[in-house]
Amino acid sequence: MSGVIGKRVLITGATDGIGLAMACKYAQAGARVLATGRRPLARTDDIFGGATLTYIRADQSEPEEAARSIVQTMKTMGWTGCDLAILNAGIGWAGNPADEPAEVLAEQVAVNVESPVQIARAIAPALFEAKGQLTLIGSIAHKGSKKFATYAATKAAQRGLARSLREEWRDRANVQILHPGAIRTGMHAKAGFKAGMFRIFFTGSRRASNAILSAIESGVAERVIKRNFIFRTGWRTPRRLRKVQ
């Protein structure tokens, strides 16, 4: 991406954690941001503070409906293209796979796999028009992770999707997947995982979001967001995303 002001940026899973941080930083840097999340919001200020952006409720557990809502809103906003789409929404469940409820398993597959497939398919023409970039936020768990069997499987599927689309979309749009490690957000608690004292080893959300933004801006095809990368790049917001004065 060259320049941020006026760029059309879609971010899913934008009401919490790194998704929220990325939405605010792109908006404050002058990008036109379409942010999505599960929760209905009466006012964007309730979540995004002073950042100027457009927010819609697009529940990723209903992939086809979420994709339709996003495309319709892009048209309403006058977007003929999309410069950057960050598919960040994701959910997990922690525990013995034998105890995992079937409906919880199905919801993870819908949110983490079916929804990115449907959204990528729906917004492909807009990405092609802009020669834009699709970024999938995966997880280091894609290699397999104890107590997170289904979650790990869905993240492995995301990696397969990214690698396939990278070839299919060659010369039309860039496709990227990033694999963060454990971050201090609410996701582990929502998944039922009690980190306890090990939480001190999780990366802070501010530093992690800065490192992820650096990787997004680089356009690299794939990167594991390791602690050494976060240490080098997470101490401040990437230059092109610093707040417009």
How many Å apart are CA 215 and CA 22, to the nearest integer? 12
Check whether 38 has a pLDDT greater than 70: yes
Q: How far apart are CA 9 and CA 198, in angstroms?
A: 35
Give the CATH number of domain 8-236.
Answer: 3.40.50.720
pLDDT top residue among 31 and 191: 31
For the chain, which residues make up each domain, given as ranges? Answer: 8-236
Strand order in the sheet with 84-87: 54-57, 32-37, 8-11, 84-87, 133-137, 174-180, 222-225
Residues 58, 34: contact at Cβ < 8 Å?
no
Considering only the C-alpha atoms of the chain, give the largest distance between any 2 of them, rounded to a whole number of Å: 54
| pLDDT digit string, tens, across residues 95-153 | 899 999 999 999 999 999 999 999 999 999 999 999 999 999 999 989 887 888 999 99
Kind and range of the H or E element at 114? none
- What would the pLDDT profile of 163-199 be if each residue is shown by its tens digit? 999 999 999 999 999 998 765 555 545 555 454 454 4
The pLDDT score that the predictor gives to residue 59 is 95
Residue-wise pLDDT tens digits, 56-100: 999 999 999 999 999 999 999 999 999 999 999 999 888 899 999
Reduced to 3 DSSP states, what percent helix, strand and coil does the chain have, rounded to the nearest 5?
50, 15, 35
Contacts of 239 (CB under 8 A, 6+ apart): none
- The verdict on pTM exceeding 0.95 is no
- Comparing CA positions, the residue from 113, 119, 162 lying closest to residue 11 is 119
Core vs surface per residue 198-230: b (16+ CB within 10 A) or e: eeeeebebbbbbbbbbbbbbeeeebbbbeeebb
Q: How many CB atoms lie within 10 A of CB 168?
A: 11
Distance, in Å, from the CA atom of 8 to the CA atom of 44, rounded to the nearest integer, reads 18
